[in-house]
Amino acid sequence: MGLSSSMNAAVMGLAVNSTKLSTISDNIANSETFGYKRVETSFTNMVLQQGSGDYTAGGVRVNTFKDVAAQGALITTANSTDISVAGRGMLPVTTAAGLTAQPGDRPLLLTTTGSFTPDQDGYLRTLSGSFLMGWPAEPDGTINVPGRNTSVGLEPIQVSNNNFVASPTTNITLGMNIPASATNAGGTGDPFELPVEYFDSLGRSQSLSFNFVPQVPATGSSNTWTVNITDQAGDPTTPIATFDVVFDDAPGTGGTIQSLTPGAGATYDATTGMIGVNVASGAIDIEVGPPGGGSLLTQLSSTFSPVGVRADGAPIGSLSAVEISETGTVEAIYDTGFRRTLYQVPLADVPNVNGLTALDNQTYAVSQSSGDLYFWDAGTGPVGTTIGFSLTESTTDIAEELTSLIKTQRAYSSNAKIIQTVDEMLQETTNLIR
């Protein structure tokens, strides 16, 4: 019985070391595979119930698992949509079948890194066929999250629909000074003109003209102005809005807005300091500041100085690049310098990362062992950040694998030697009856 159990144990030793050799081979073969997680092998002994004065070899069994939680080193690349995760968390991806599937039926896979480039339809995908997914952004850049414990709201990221874009002007900042001396008695009453460029809904350059008319009193100073706004895209002879503004001359608040009275075509919010007007292509807010200290529009004893006049928006531009930020925001960058938020890529996290089911192409699927997933914004909670222009290297350590290879070879040879020894002993036993 002892010799038989010895041989069985040695045979099991050969089998488990063969398994370990397979994992070592896989690890070494994928030492240059981006995102590869090394497979680890562990042995556990088997103990059989022993009789008095007897010992029966139980043998050994093998366990293997992929160390998904291990972090590979990051390397820099030249592609802005080469994406890796610095820390915990995984990128949501889908297969080609997910492009046409309904949201609830779309396959969800996870990966820690990927070299994503637009395909012929503009979808960001890897060469192995993994399509990056994210939550789509509204036209104003806001992200609506339908749920963080479900992938239903995630869509394959498509950038070809954003090759050309125009950003209409919605806000003008009127940071400037108008001369206090113009409202003194004896002044000429000549108006001051200020043209401000803005962009309409089609990306065309238009112009608003601000006409500052000082009210000249018979004596003293009025500190009062009438402002007429005309839109060159419409009738340039008829103001689209007017307002009257009175400036303070008290100590401490001198030169700031004391009161602002909107006229036809204008509204004024004294809390935010915004004047609302409607141009030919839509509504625009003009920021002048609230009454009291801190107003952007001032009247001081200086020259007419429109040094802080700015308008948002941009003319029509063509897509020049797509980048991802550390918070997972996918932005389109246009040749006009305008940036537009397209998607938000969340990072998926599960309680047991090593419990994920490993699939081809460095992708993983949620399993019963991994637990339920939750989608975090990158850089929040337990997850790390998303890094563009980078890929994650394999977690294989060649030196460690070669060392394990030598040890495995020795262990295999030793088990083979046991079989040879048992065979010789059985042969000796057989020879006794000759």
Q: What is the DSSP letter of 50?
A: P
Q: 52 pLDDT exceeds 80?
A: no
pLDDT of residue 137: 92
Closest CA to 243 of 257, 231, 261, 229: 261
Which domains does the chain carry?
A: 2-67+395-431 (no CATH), 74-166+317-392 (no CATH), 169-312 (2.60.98.20)
Mean pLDDT, residues 145-158: 92
Helices (H) and strands (E) in the chain, counts: 2, 32
Tally of CB atoms within 10 A around 149: 8
Q: What is the pLDDT of residue 317?
A: 79
pLDDT tens-digit readout, 266-320: 999 999 999 999 998 889 999 999 998 778 999 998 899 999 999 988 888 778 8
User: Residue 53: pLDDT band by 50, 70, 90 thresholds?
Assistant: low
Residues 6+ apart with CB under 8 A from 373: 110, 149, 348, 349, 350, 366
Q: Say what the alpha-carbon torsion angle 372, 375, 378, 383 is, to the nearest 10 degrees.
A: -20
Share of the chain above pLDDT 90, in %: 66
What is the pLDDT, as a whole number, of residue 421?
A: 86
Three-state DSSP state, 219: coil
Model pLDDT for residues 367-412, shown as the tens digit of each residue: 999 999 999 999 999 999 999 999 999 999 999 999 999 999 998 8
Full-model pTM = 0.73
Q: Exposure string (b/e) for 398-419, b if CB count within 10 Å is 16 or more? A: eeebeebbeebeebbeebeebb
Instruction: Please report the pLDDT score of residue 125 as a whole number.
Output: 95
Please answer whether residues 320 and 333 qualify as being in contact, where contact means their C-beta atoms are separated by less than 8 angstroms.
yes
pLDDT at 105 over 60: yes
| Terminal CA-CA length for the chain | 22
CA distance 119 to 389: 18
- Is the pLDDT at 61 greater than 90, yes or no? no
Q: Average pLDDT over the chain, rounded to whole?
A: 90
Spatial neighbors of 377 by CB under 8 A, at least 6 apart, are 327, 328, 344, 346, 347
Question: DSSP secondary-structure letter at 170?
Answer: -
What is the spatial distance between Cα 217 and Cα 102, in angstroms, rounded to a whole number?
72
Asked if residue 371 lies in contact with residue 351, where contact means CB atoms within 8 angstroms, the answer is yes
Confidence of residue 9 (pLDDT cuts 50, 70, 90): confident
Provide the token pair at 302: 């200086």
Q: Check residues 5 and 264 and name the one with the higher pLDDT.
A: 264
Are the beta carbons of 228 and 242 closer than 8 angstroms? Answer: yes
- Distance, in Å, from the CA atom of 21 to the CA atom of 5, rounded to the nearest integer, reads 24
Give the span between the Cα atoms of 312 and 172, in whole angstroms.
7
**What's the average model confidence in pLDDT over 99-122?**
92
Using CA atoms, how far apart are residues 57 and 73, in angstroms rounded to an integer? Answer: 43
